[in-house]
Amino acid sequence: MFEEKLDALSQMMAEHMTTPFPPSFRGLNIEGQDMVLLDADTYGYASGVLKGPLNEQRRAGLMRLIAAFEKVLPAIDDEYGAKYYTHVRDMAVLAAEIETLRDK
C-alpha cells in the first residue's frame, strides 16, 4: 500500500508537469495566498516526500499548505483554475498521507 501511494504521487506529479499553469493565476493572490507560490511549494513538498521522510518543520509546512487550500479552492471562480488547483491540493493530501504511513 505504501509503495502504491508513492507511485500514485509520482504519477500525479508527472501529470502536473504536463498540465499548463492557468495564465490568469500568475501574480494572483487569493485569500492571502500567492497562487504561483502555492503551486510551487506544493510540488516542492511532494518531491521531498518522494525522496524520504520530511523533518518536522517541512511536515508542518505541508499541513499549512493543505489548510490554505481549504480557503483558496472555494474562492476560485475559474473552472480551469479550480480543476488545476484541486489536482495540486490532491497532491498535497496524498503527500501528507504518505508521511502519516511512514509514522506507522
Domain extents for the chain?
Answer: 2-20+38-102
Distance separating alpha carbons of residues 33 and 11, to the nearest angstrom: 26
Cα distance between residue 19 and residue 72, in whole Å: 20
The predicted model scores a pTM of: 0.95
Q: Which residues of 32-59 are buried (b: 16+ CB within 10 A; e: fewer)?
A: ebebeebbebbbebbebbeeeebeeeeb
pLDDT digits (tens, 9 = 90+) for 51-100: 999 999 999 999 999 999 999 999 999 999 999 999 999 999 999 999 99
Average pLDDT over residues 5-11: 98
